[in-house]
Structure 1
């Protein structure tokens, strides 16, 4: 039997302003880079010249631009405003330009206003490593007593409100500011932080957008772009919501198997796929990740492998890649089985790109000002662990 290709090992890079350099990435053992043109405003067209410049920079470092993460989607598309078709046309134009430069995998998300959300960017673990954490009580404290969102008290139990008030009262002025800035951070790769007033203006745009409307707007977007993406050879892969439940009065629509089924069936095509993020989906206790991977395997174009430890109150923190509550061995086995199936079908996408996600800050990372969750040594450790797990399972499963 022909040997099945290994996963393509990749590393996220936030561009020239990232303290983690391309030379650093090459030393991790990764061969592919996951990046975007973060300097281009959300929704605006990526020019061929800018795409070519970034691609050349990566290739001159001896690496490959494997995945675009992300061409961000303008809020007008998410809320379904009257001008959404204009923004969709700009999105298609960006896809055309990246396709012309030989890029074919585009990860994106459909989270309203904020990207992934945490309450603590420096949660100290017993071994003194630093991790990202989502604390449900801290989030409630921010929502109720800093943001003071209208109607927020309806989203929390009486017990949670009492706990949040006690938590809030125990914070110093500086700690309250840190909590606010952590939650109000904008898109990855930028230093944008919303003020509560700015965020409330964004919330107002979503007053008539509940989960069902947001779902419909996502389907509208997919039906508009997928035919063109398929002709271009582009594989779109949506990233799950993080955390995978509503927060701050905003709906979430990419949280579980039902959501993924709705997405892939809204515009059936090889161009309409999934980024399978074990951290985002794994933070939802109802999700069975190995079973989801088996079910949606043919639609997966990109893998984010990381782990989380969940707490009883709805909080979670980033765990070591092979520890935590997600069964990474069974997840990796399901990935290898999917690769085997693809090879038997003669598909050309057997070597699925994978990246370690949200590594701990360890060792020399503490002296570097990398983007939260994206320090080099912690992620390199995660990549090495995943590489070893993949190799060991391949030997056992495929000989």
Structure 2
């Protein structure tokens, strides 16, 4: 790809997030001439798989089975497999339809004979009917690039379409409506700041066809030097270079938050004590000279082994002295002795680097000094539940309503 303004190295990625719906939502109605009586010994065992192209904004996969009986099955995007017991019949038809971006996008059909007592593995090949363009731009904590609005324009030989930027949580997105296959599209992407000044633009071409119904658009960077023009006199124009953050740098305040922690896992042999931090910047952060502790005092903290944390990724910090902790999470020699009770003296978790506190969490008991506290799982609970932050509320994380208890997911947001 060849953007007109190259800005070193961040990525506007194609989001492959899949929208799951319940795996099993089937109704059955008997068709005329269907067998009656006991099913035992009269059915065929069918493993039905849908071979589809995974796309963003995927809604569901619908399968219709028509033969000796009629079945209507619905699965989530990640569950494209069905295990069925079906009556024998000479002409079973299996039709599959994939819905994405609110419309029918792919479909496939296969017909076969099923004999009683047989075991069959059926694969339904899918082909695309339409395509669409979806671009996701990570804004990062505080939106340091200052992106406030934008437009995406797609122009083919038949028509031109323009779509505005939408903001959701920590990301900005562009999504088109369904587009015809077999066409080349000229792509223009423009990002603007709050004053309407363009801070990034990209020109490119792409082809939407059956093999690439949702092509990937990659912006090489939103960083480097961007020119800002200031009119200071009638005949003088001053160009000021604005340097945005580098792509690989030391961590600083505002880059990450404590997103999950578990400090009382002793009654659950599967879980382990950990503190998770999330990189909300658009840069790879160098975690060095950093500590996790009850306070910012070194005597109550444990040093974290140097590690690189990519953007929009979570890092779980666990004890190297525990065999329960997975190897990739053994980042401190020994975890600090965090308070494990939500009814006694409350405690804090502090993440600090080079003497500066980057984030902290107060949990457990409310007292006269701390009117709010993050919920903590009971130390007597038989199954450990970790305290988890709703990352969309990262800038209001002191509010306990933005935290909840759930099954531990160390390293996964």
TM-score using structure 1 length: 0.22
> Higher Cα Rg: structure 1 or 2?
2
TM-score using structure 2 length: 0.22
State the structure with bigger RCO (CA 8 A, min sep 6), 1 or 2: 1
Task: Name the structure with the higher helix share.
Answer: 1
Task: Name the structure with the higher strand share.
Answer: 2
